[in-house]
Chains A and B, each alone.
Chain A
Amino acid sequence: MADTSLPSTHVAPVSQARGRGLSAFLYRRESVRGYLLMSPTLLIMSVGILIPFLILLVMSFWTRDGFDFDTTPTVNNYLRVWSEPIFGALLSRSFWISGIATVVTVALCYPMAYYVAFHVHKHKMMWIILMTLPFWTSYLLRVFAWKVILGYEGVINSGFMAIGWIEAPLEFLLYSQTAVIITLAHAWAAFAILPLYVSLEKIDKSLLEAATDLGDGPVARFLRITLPLSMPGVIAASFLIFIPTTGDYITPALLGGPDGAMIGNLIQLQFGAVNNWPMGATLSIVLMLWIAAIALVFLFLAQKAREKIA
């Protein structure tokens, strides 16, 4: 306390009174307390996300002028995104690739999470750690690892050739959309396993017993109890994978080849070699809007599906 370090004891009551005043103020105003608790996050959110977003938004209405920007507001960039086929094509390709990757990831991770949630009774923590262990390495390393696996002289090709299944290396494995989908599906698996596991773990086992008692077989029991109750996990996993992979840059850059480029690569080019920052900003905004729209539609459909099941 400050009062102990002061020579005069006179001041002590005042500072205590002030302290009481402050805590009383905080006690009375719940909203102030809330904002104070949130303040570190709020600060980071506004400095790190909100302000850059506003800059991006403003810049998207500018135009490039040699090395500089022409700051007269115009919607030309948005019109270009609408009218020139390259932007639409890369956007839809990005949604296609990351949509497939999302479905594949969730489908592959669901059984894993299911197994740990229902059939592992000891050392569950250990299982979860083991499953997520590959994801403790750098994302870039994992992408490069897939380059080694899928490559022309990679693990798959040389393995198949040694067995004698193929004569010449399979060339579609690397530098293709397939390569990007495979890599994304593996690289983001941890983000599917954890939410799926949590939602499956929460399911009340007595509901399953009740379903069995009332005559449901394993399949009907899964479809009527387990799947609907784990839907929040499936939705969370889908979002966690779909949103970041749509804008993924490094995977298509390293493994995509000419036909595997995604919208993230195009945005990077606008800020790099093409040197058109306003266009890059516009593309980022358009991408965000599309993701938001798709996410809303997905949520709406999931809601409808749940109502129908219930």
Chain B
Amino acid sequence: MDVVDQLGAMREGKLSRRAFTKGLMAAGVGLTTVPLAARRARASADDQATFFTWGGYDIPELFQPYEASNGALPNFSIFGGSEEALTKMRGGFVVDVAHPCNSGMPRWVQTGLFQPIDVSRLSNWPDVMPELSNLPGNDAEGGNIWMAPFDWGQTSVTYRTDMFELEGEESWDMLWDARYGGRLGSLASGGDAWWCGAIKAGVPFDQIATDEAFDAISAILREQRPLIRVYTDDTTTLEQALSSGEMVAAMTWNSSAVLLQAEGIPVKFARPKEGALTWVCGVMVHKDAPNLDRAYDVIDSLLSVESGRFMINDYGYGHSNARSFDEFDEQTLANLGSSKTPSDILDAGHFQIPQSQDWETRMNELFEQIKAGF
């Protein structure tokens, strides 16, 4: 009996009971093998706020106050790089809250896709460190601001202390070490990798827009490309590769090193002698946010001490709420590579400087070509 036969038999009303039962069984097997994930994704209610963020921030630990007042977690949508996120929103993707970093913020504001944040609606705002919200371009009308700072940290090299034989000091050279060709990893987003390339090439950030800087950085990244096993925006991929020994060193954010250490993997988040890349990220509200009240709940939840404690302790990032740091003593903070004074960390490294849209596009275009081998 073949497929056509069965259909024909059904049309003529001659489908035998056995054949019918068999058909039912096939349908049943089919239904049970349909992945359950789709069903779970649908369960999140439409009326919750949508948070458009980097991978790793879509976790319940950061939304305890939100969950307490709204009964559920917000919806999450994930991006790999902030340029990708901006393009998606310019294409008409509407979210409530998005998560850019200081280097992109002025350009995000220019798009006119966002509204200033009414800080009087945020209960945790008085505890936010002023030096973090006081970023270039972050002032709007009436004392409100565009981007509420949330997390700050570094991009540096996480390496296996048992596998990577250090020659001298920790340095960005580790990611260019030919001894470990094919066992090095990198973030795929130019927003991190290009700036790290600039540090390695010795280009000062205030000259990063010159043609010479483009030449120098692309030369250094082309030199690195054959050594890289994979470029990815998925931090889990890098963490798994470091943990299995597939990679011995990779460009990561603080969180990867802290997470791996918590699992007992011998890794270290390098303090390169040239300085790490430092950044402040925050949240912005979409001008057409469909759930504005809950958007403010999302922000307030992110700025809360509960979230701060998690960010500092489990991810090793800095948090924007000054009171979050009171939960830790100096020694613990030092072990986590953090500090109560953001400037200690931010000024010790190279702080990203906002660039023009033309620069971003040119950089991304070039970096994608380099990654593809050209």
Answer yes or no: A152 CB below 8 A from chain B CBs: yes
Other-chain residue from A125, A128, A153, A269 in contact with B368 (beta carbon distance below 8 A): A269
Nearest chain A CB to B281's CB is how many angstroms away? 17
Do residues A136 and B244 form an inter-chain contact, with CB atoms below 8 A? no
Q: A258 is contacted by which of B22, B230, B241 (Cβ under 8 Å)?
A: B230
B35 and A275 contacting across the interface, CB-CB below 8 Å: no
Contact A273 B364 (CB under 8 A): yes
- Inter-chain CA distance A207–B364, complex, in Å, is 62
A272 and B2 contacting across the interface, CB-CB below 8 Å: no
Q: Which A-chain residue is minimally distant from B368 (CB atoms)?
A: A269
Q: Is the CB of B33 within 8 A of A67?
A: no
Distance of A129 Cα from B6 Cα, bound (Å) = 13
Q: A125 — which chain B residues lie within 8 A by C-beta?
A: 1-3, 6, 22, 26
- A128 neighbours in B (Cβ, 8 Å): 2-3
Cβ-defined contact, A67 with B111, below 8 A: yes
B229 touches A257 (CB 8 A): yes
**CB pair A171 B87 closer than 8 Å:** no
Min CB gap B142→A, angstroms: 26
Report the minimal beta-carbon distance from B273 to chain A, rounded to whole angstroms. Answer: 27
Confirm or deny: A137 has a beta carbon within 8 angstroms of a beta carbon on chain B. yes
On whether the beta carbons of A141 and B35 are closer than 8 Å, the reply is: yes
CB-CB < 8 A to B373: which residues of A?
89, 258-259
Q: Which of B34, B35, B110, B182 is within 8 Å of A171, CB to CB?
A: B182
Q: B115 interface residue, CB < 8 Å from A?
A: no
Provide the bound-state CA to CA distance between A238 and B91, in Å.
35
Q: Chain A 115-154 against B: per-residue CB contact (8 Å), 1 yes, 0 no?
A: 0000000011110110001001110010000000001110
- Say if the beta carbon of B336 comes within 8 Å of chain A: no
Question: CA A260 – CA B83 in complex, angstroms?
Answer: 23
| Residues in chain A near residue B38, CB distance under 8 A | 138
**Interface readout for A192-236 with B: 1 if CB under 8 Å, 0 if not?**
000000000100000000000000000000000000000000000
CB contacts under 8 Å to A, within B1-24, are: 1-3, 6, 22
Query: Do the beta carbons of B372 and A67 come within 8 Å of each other?
Result: no
Q: How far is the CA of A136 from the CA of B6 in the complex (A)?
A: 20
B35 & A89 in contact (Cβ 8 Å cutoff)? no
In the bound complex, residues from chain A placing their C-beta under 8 Å from that of B37 are: 138
Q: How distant is the Cα of A140 from the Cα of B245 in the complex, in angstroms? A: 26
Q: Are A66 and B358 in contact (CB under 8 A)?
A: yes
Please tell me if A283 contacts chain B, counting CB pairs below 8 Å. Answer: no
User: With a CB–CB cut-off of 8 A, which chain A residues contact B357?
Assistant: 66-67
Tally of B interface residues using CB under 8 Å: 47
Residue of B nearest to A89 (CB): B374
Within 8 Å by CB of B34, from A85, A136, A271, A272, lies A136
* A interface bracket (residues with beta carbon within 8 Å of B): 35 or more
A123 / chain B contacts, CB cutoff of 8 Å: 1
A49 to B68, CA, bound (A): 45
A90 and B372 within 8 A (CB)? yes
Q: Is B139 an interface residue (CB 8 A)?
A: no
Closest A residue by C-beta to B111: A67
A264-282 CB contacts (< 8 Å) to partner B: 266, 269, 271-276
**A86 and B372 contact, CB distance less than 8 A:** yes
Find out whether the CB atom of B244 lies under 8 angstroms from the CB atom of A153. Answer: yes
Q: Which residues of chain A are near B364, meaning CB under 8 Å?
A: 269, 273-275
- Kindly report which residue of chain B lies nearest to residue A120, judged by CB atoms: B2
Least CB separation from B83: chain A residue: A273
- Complex Cα–Cα for A266 and B373 (A): 12
Q: Is A64 an interface residue (CB 8 A)?
A: yes
Contacts of A85 in B (CB 8 A): 374
Residues of A within 8 A of B47 (CB): none
**In the complex, residue of chain A having the shortest beta-carbon distance to the beta carbon of B358:** A66
* CB contact list, B64-98 vs A, under 8 A: 81, 83-84, 86-88, 90-91
Are B34 and A152 in contact, with the CB atoms below 8 A? Answer: no
Q: Contact flags (1/0) for B337-374 with A, using CB distance below 8 Å?
A: 00000000000000000000110110011001101111
Closest CB pairs A-B (n = 9): A152-B246, A272-B84, A86-B374, A153-B244, A273-B83, A273-B364, A136-B33, A273-B84, A129-B26
7 other A-B residue contacts (CB within 8 Å) besides A151-B246, A257-B229, A272-B88: A66-B357, A66-B361, A67-B110, A85-B374, A266-B368, A273-B84, A275-B360
**Could you list 24 examples of A-B contacts with CB < 8 Å?**
A64-B361, A67-B110, A67-B111, A89-B372, A89-B373, A90-B372, A124-B1, A125-B2, A126-B22, A151-B246, A258-B231, A259-B373, A261-B371, A261-B372, A271-B91, A272-B88, A273-B84, A274-B364, A275-B86, A275-B87, A275-B360, A275-B361, A275-B364, A276-B365
Seen from chain B, the residues whose Cβ lies within 8 Å of a Cβ on chain A are 1-3, 6, 22, 26, 29-30, 33-35, 37-38, 81, 83-84, 86-88, 90-91, 110-111, 182, 189-190, 225, 228-231, 241, 244-246, 357-358, 360-361, 364-365, 368-369, 371-374
